[in-house]
Amino acid sequence: DIQMTQSPSSLSASVGDGVTITCRASQSISTYLNWYQHKPGKAPKLLIYAASSFQRGVPSRFSGSGSGTDFTLTISSLQPEDFATYYCQQSYSTPWTFGQGTKVEIK
């Protein structure tokens, strides 16, 4: 199975800050990498697919980049509704696997 490792596991930031979350795959996965946002008690929400493609309706402050083994999710200016846990997920091979999550908290 492909292991996905995110860093940091959690971070504290203020509204308006820029934030970067990193995801590393245990082997090359090309750009078969997706990002999700998850809030407690809610359905997870797809943000980015294929490493850098926006899901319809996702604000432009979210962006993704990377290929091979190293990927990043960037939030350019945190908004109150962005405080959540973010997961990367590889779709290069089954079983599909997720990172352990990065919790973005209010400072």
Partner 1 sequence: QVQLVESGGGVVQPGRSLRLSCAASGFTFSHFGLHWVRQAPGKGLEWVAVTWYDGSNTSYAESVQGRFIISRHNSENTLSLQMNSLRTEDTAVYYCARGKYSNFVYYFDSWGQGTLVTVSS
Using CB under 8 A, list all residues that contact partner 1: 31-32, 34, 36, 38, 41-46, 49-50, 53, 55, 87, 89, 91, 94-101
Instruction: Name the residue nearer to partner 1 (CB basis): 11 or 17.
Output: 11
Cα(33)–Cα(38) distance, integer angstroms: 17
Instruction: Name the residue nearer to partner 1 (CB basis): 83 or 98.
Output: 98
Decide if 54 contacts 74 (C-beta within 8 A). no
Burial (CB count within 10 angstroms: exposed 0-12, middle 13-18, buried 19+), residue 35: buried
Instruction: Name the residue nearer to partner 1 (CB basis): 14 or 43.
Output: 43
